[in-house]
Amino acid sequence: MPLELRSNPAFFASRRAVWLQWVVVGVFALSWWRGENLIADLARQGENVADAALAARKAATAVQASLGLATVEVIVGANDTLERIFRRLQLSVTDLATLRALPDLRKQLDRLRPGELITFNVQNMKLMGLERRLSPSETLQVTRAPDGFDSKVIVNPIEREVRTAEGVIDTSLFHATAAAGLDDRVALRIADIFQWDIDFVLEVQPGDRFRVVYERLSQDGKEMGSGEVLAAEFITGGKTFRAVRHENAAGLGTYYTPAGKSLRKAFIRAPVDFTRISSRFNLFRLHPVLNSVRAHRGVDYAAPIGTPVKASGAGRVAYVGQKGGYGNVIEIEHANRVRTVYGHLSRFAAGLRAGEHVDQGKIIGFVGMTGLATGPHLHYEYLVNGTHRDPQKVILPEQPPLAGPALAEFRMATAPLLAQLERGPASPTNAAASVTPSTAATAGAVTASGVRPRSR
């Protein structure tokens, strides 16, 4: 090297700059190589998680933790435990043992839900705290303390605004409720409320109308969807059906007519979610398999194999097994000498035995095509005093109505809701659908937040 260059400070400064650039490139290359290998190792481990994207997310969180970042978000995998997550993040198992030594924390942290998000606060591979959402309104917060960890549950109140909406059926109830700005939960609730009086698969027609008084939920200013339907009206075939929700002393909500009669009948009209009726009650039907005139003493509800079948009413299971053309069949005896039959089942509910009591709506079996059947469906029969009745037309027994003090309390409690249902939306935005908040929107809303501490 020439003497003039060796004695030139600018020359050495430029050489140092080049050398530093190569050092930086080398450090980034090494970090990239280590990160790639760590991701590959964790992806190969899999932790029994089928979703490759989830495995990649887990690897990324481990890389973040190894670099000393303060916040690491973990999506819980299908077979994840807190111990597995700690090992994946290379956190101290001693800290894990300390957390599990706290009874309340052990209960809250050992029952992880696949897909949920847990946030870890990590500093230099050391757990400083974590957060986990326990429910829509509660968050568990754990922070490191000098002698272990402190925990508390942060209560984030859910505000309930009472609103009114209405709409007109064009193609379906779901389409009409969506046009009114309502989510599918409201549509499902309407169908559930009036299921004993209206067949929403067969009877609902374009031009039918609905109106609902319902709760709109929000938290910290963020919409969370709909809550309970408090009152509802449905007009179909020239008939108007109304319902209002009322809670009993135990806090159980039930829907009644404005006169205090329960909408819940002693029997469900159709004990399965069907796609169509493949054969109706007909005493002179031509049998599709035997090709001869043979009475069809029930209704065939077509549905995919495996669709749950529910007990149409409370009663005692009289028979479970195979019986001729019925295939796999269940028979239930009910009050007032009523008997129901469920045929062509693919299988029975686990543990179902003759002699046991079942409640209305309990799943007792699953749709199939055993016995004499040309396709998957439920064959359903309804008998009174041993005589077959048309399940679609028979008058279903009603529950006892409210009376005395219970009726007086009901009328007082439901009068404001029925008045709001009668008024409807104050300022409809269009003829088809509209939504209006109640003037007493905050009545009953939770407005105070708080913290429920937990002991160490």
pLDDT by residue for the chain (456 residues), tens only, comes to 443 434 444 444 445 544 555 544 454 444 444 444 444 444 444 444 445 555 555 555 555 545 555 688 889 888 888 888 888 888 888 888 888 887 777 777 777 888 889 999 988 888 899 888 888 778 888 999 888 888 888 887 888 899 999 999 998 899 999 999 999 999 999 999 998 888 887 788 999 999 999 999 887 777 778 899 999 999 998 999 999 999 877 677 899 999 999 998 889 889 998 888 988 988 765 555 555 566 889 999 999 999 999 999 999 999 999 999 999 999 999 999 999 999 999 999 999 999 999 999 999 999 999 998 989 999 999 999 999 999 988 988 888 889 999 999 999 999 999 999 999 886 444 334 455 555 333 333 322 223 333 333
Tell me what pLDDT residue 165 has: 95
Residue 236 lies in a domain: yes
139 shares a domain with 80? yes
282 shares a domain with 253? no
Q: Name the pTM for this structure.
A: 0.57
The Cβ-side half-sphere exposure at 344, using a 13 Å CA radius, reads 22
Residue 168 lies in a domain: yes
Query: 412 is written with which tokens?
Result: 């007082």
CATH code (residue 48): 3.10.450.350
205 shares a domain with 140? no
Measured CA to CA, the distance from residue 200 to residue 192 in angstroms comes to: 10
Tell me what pLDDT residue 22 has: 53
408 shares a domain with 261? yes
Residue 446 lies in a domain: no
- Domain containing 315: what range? 276-389
CATH code (residue 291): 2.70.70.10
Given 122, 155, 188, the domain boundary residue is 155
83 shares a domain with 101? yes
Measured CA to CA, the distance from residue 55 to residue 43 in angstroms comes to: 6
Tell me what pLDDT residue 177 has: 92
Query: 69 is written with which tokens?
Result: 């970042």
229 shares a domain with 256? yes
The answer for residues whose C-beta is within 8 angstroms of residue 164's C-beta and 6 or more apart is 211, 212, 213, 214, 420, 421, 423, 424, 425, 435, 436, 437, 438
Q: How many independent structural domains does the chain possess?
A: 3
Closest CA to 209 of 185, 183, 184, 179: 179
